[in-house]
Chains A and B, each alone.
Chain A
Amino acid sequence: MRRKRLEDVKANLSDLFELPREIMLNLPKISMVGNNQLLVENHKGVIEYTPQRIRVNSTVGVIRMQGADMKLKNIAVDDIIITGEIRMIEFIG
């Protein structure tokens, strides 16, 4: 309960001062270019990787991407670039 309130305060603060939410709240930031490139920042590791399905862990749960011919173009400590045909993104809480 207390934790939840702290999160609310942080969210309000970041809104008030126009600070990036993903930094204040430690959330993943996902940006897509068309349907063939996807960047996940602030991830917490790869759980599964096949050309058809990728699951990436994050602070809000697992993010699942489905598609075809997906490749990990670049991977670093806190960001992953996925290329290929992405059909669906799903948050699994």
Chain B
Amino acid sequence: MFFYVLWNYLIGYVVIRVEGLSLEKFINLTVSRGIHLWGIDRQNYTTLTAKISIKGFRQLHGISHKIRCRIRIVDKRGLPFILFRYRHRKMLAAGLILFLFIIYGLSSFVWTVEVEGAEEINPQKVLSELESLGVQAGVLKSDIDSLWIENQLIIRIPELSWASLEIRGSKAVLRVRESVLPPVLIDRDTPCNVVAAKDGIIDKMIVLDGQAMVSEGQTVKKGQLLISGIIEHPNTIGVRYVHSMGKIIARTWYEETVELSLKEPFRQRTGRRSEIRYIGWERFKVPYMKEEVPFLDFDLEVKQDGFFILEIYHETEEIYWERNKHKAKQMLEELANQKVRKKIPMGAKIVDKKLKYDMIGSEKLIAVIYAEALEDIGMQQDIAIH
């Protein structure tokens, strides 16, 4: 119905008054010729008002002759008549066109540049790099070659592993993912030491080059020298510098704590609800039936049917469910395992795992997981030779 009215308004219609003696005949004849009539209202025995489209009105000539009635226009409604009224106002039309051009023109530029996902690296650095690649406020959108810029960015900023440049309206949004940089490799010809990357007890040592400074079964601290690149032989006077290498497999320990509340919050609808009805599309909507929403905690349900949007606000309240202790333990174990696995590096092997549960008060259960792993803790480090 709404679209029907809107359509009629857009194509324009006239309100006519028909004066004559056989008005029913007029209606029948008009309708049988396929001319649409609506809003027919009989004023008195000889007069009738009706609405008719502009096109239909032009076809009425023959009918008025045949039936012998007088047809007069009472009102002209709709867009075509409004446009007709303004036909001499050239500047208005010029302004409209200018406005459209300005809107179109301005929307073809990038006005803001945003970086999403930069956590470790400074977004400012990415922005300045983008600027040097030609992405900044005031640049034509069509000049931006997203694919090329993405590739260039990944090449120029080694900390990035992935970049995606997307233009949303007048905004250029760059989404990035950072990569974990590989450890610095030391050239085979430069002498170096191997030190411990973390605390642990040495399980096995394979020294390929250099002099072992520790032995199996020994506890080492982070940063402790494991294989020295400086070899001093008692038999020879000279000191040899080598590029020490080796595998130092050590037992390392990881500890993680996870906790879980035994009382699980649960939101439940109370049954009270309010509705707001909108007409429109997505964000562009106008409410036409509005009920107050007198509650703070609610669940929002949105239903859309064509251009009609219905928002239902269900009032909710928080209820606590008592969690099963056995189940909670299982959940905790899973959580703890996940958490500890994240911490342990890729190459490490988990040898042993222990879980300990503890209650805090009567509502919280905590689990501490101890994981023992075997991993290579050796890390090459330059020797400062004076």
Interface residues of A (CB under 8 A from B): 45-51, 71-77
Contacts and interface: CB of A to CB of B under 8 A. Distances in A.
Identify which of A45, A71, A75 gathers the most chain B CB atoms within 10 Å of its CB: A75
A71 B23 contact: no
Contact of A75 (B40, B41, B42, B45): B40
B40 A71 contact: yes
B339 to A, nearest CB: 64
Q: Which secondary structure characterizes the binding site on chain A?
A: strand
A45 B40 contact: no
Given A45-B32, A71-B42, A76-B36, 14 more contacts: A47-B24, A49-B24, A49-B40, A50-B42, A50-B45, A72-B37, A72-B39, A72-B40, A73-B38, A74-B37, A74-B39, A75-B36, A77-B31, A77-B32
Contacts of B24: 46-49
Interface residues of B, number: 17
B27 A46 contact: yes
Q: Which 10 pairs between the two chains have the least Cβ-Cβ distance?
A: A72-B40, A45-B28, A74-B38, A71-B41, A46-B24, A75-B37, A46-B27, A75-B31, A49-B24, A51-B42
B39 A73 contact: yes
Contacts of B48: 49
B38 to A, nearest CB: 5
Interface string B42-78: 1001001010000000000000000000000000000
A75 B38 CA distance: 6
B34 interface: yes
Nearest to A44: B28
B39 A49 contact: no
Nearest to B45: A50
21 contacts: A45-B28, A46-B24, A47-B24, A49-B27, A49-B40, A49-B42, A50-B45, A51-B41, A71-B41, A71-B42, A72-B27, A72-B41, A72-B50, A73-B38, A74-B37, A74-B38, A75-B27, A75-B38, A76-B36, A77-B31, A77-B34
Interface string B17-36: 00000011001100110101
A48 B37 CA distance: 16
Contacts of B36: 75-76
A71 B28 CA distance: 15
Contact of B31 (A47, A48, A50, A76): A76
A20 B46 CA distance: 40
Contacts of B38: 72-75
Contact of A71 (B27, B31, B32, B39): B39
A37 to B, nearest CB: 12
A45 B29 CA distance: 9
Nearest to B39: A73
A50 B50 CA distance: 14
Contacts of A77: 31-32, 34
